[in-house]
Copies of this chain bind each other. A is one copy, B any other.
């Protein structure tokens, strides 16, 4: 269970079968940094080409197609005191033909991020929105593994390998499992947000550079088809596609598989449980692929299995 300090020297704008930057053993953890969505680092220097540049990929010894890679986000923390957002809600989440009642011009807006105070505030002291302090809630927008069939897929989108899911629940403490397609899995991470509304509907969260620490582990011979995740409260599955209806289909099907195969619920019980207790969260609804999260309370599953309740 080694710990690695890694200083990135280059970044990728696709998740792909790229040359690894570091090989780690299952169970190892890595401390490193990520640049913001436009490629600027903690000092505001342009360190990478814009478009969710990724740190990595990290090669996990022994990872093979058919395994799952477990990623625990041990630390997810902005490392500078400012971020930026786009301003206007994207046309694809508004009624066709509806036009915003202000002149947007793809304006970029600056926000102050106070990690100590745990707050995020618009950098416009006189403006009405600056009266509102949003609670800091750092999350990783884009991460995952090299995709199937030797593909290199843009960090603007997502699929079975993860990618740009922009889900608020991918915050510090969560563990996420990805299906492994390439030898070594090839884990990538980037696109930190200090805070974000559901759906990333302006096309950005409060985009910022991060200090991150994560632990990489393997589940050999896993049948996982879409990303799965777990935090203190929830079991979660992610479906990445369009329209959202298809995301629902992928995520719900994956949850049934997980409950039945790994959590020991018989099929009828799994269906009945989802029917009366499932929850859904919306991930990215801005990019070419949208994301829907299907969730079930761990306490429910434990009660059914006689472990509690």
> Would you give the shortest CB distance from A277 to chain B, in whole angstroms?
5
Which residues A13-70 have CB closer than 8 A to chain B? 13-14, 16, 51
Q: B122, B148, B269, B288: which contacts A272 (Cβ < 8 A)?
A: B122
Q: Which residues of B contact A96 (CB under 8 A)?
A: 90-92, 94, 96, 249
Which partner residue on chain B sits nearest A152 by CB separation? B152
Q: Which residues of B contact A97 (CB under 8 A)?
A: 90-92
Contact B249 A244 (CB under 8 A): no
A125-153 contact mask (Cβ, 8 Å, vs B): 1 or 0: 00111011110000000000000111111
Which residues A241-299 have CB closer than 8 A to chain B? 241-246, 248-250, 252-253, 256, 260, 265-269, 271-282, 285, 288, 290
Which residues A142-176 have CB closer than 8 A to chain B? 148-154, 156, 159
Give bound CA distance, A241 to B243, whole Å.
10
Contact B276 A206 (CB under 8 A): yes
Give bound CA distance, A150 to B126, whole Å.
43
Give bound CA distance, A279 to B267, whole Å.
32
Contact A134 B277 (CB under 8 A): yes
A303: interface (CB < 8 Å): yes
A89: interface (CB < 8 Å): yes
Contact A87 B198 (CB under 8 A): no
A73: interface (CB < 8 Å): no
Q: Which residues of B contact A150 (CB under 8 A)?
A: 13-14, 152
> Would you give the shortest CB distance from A43 to chain B, in whole angstroms?
24
> Would you give the shortest CB distance from A283 to chain B, in whole angstroms?
10
Contact A151 B148 (CB under 8 A): no
Q: B94, B280, B288: which contacts A252 (Cβ < 8 A)?
A: B94
Given A87-B271, A120-B276, A199-B248, A266:B151 Cβ within 8 A: no
Q: Which residues of B contact A205 (CB under 8 A)?
A: 276
A100: interface (CB < 8 Å): yes
Given A89-B271, A242-B245, A273-B132, A278:B149 Cβ within 8 A: no
A-B contact pairs, 14 of them (CB 8 A): A13-B150, A51-B149, A88-B271, A94-B252, A94-B256, A96-B249, A129-B272, A133-B309, A151-B151, A151-B154, A195-B277, A198-B279, A202-B275, A242-B243
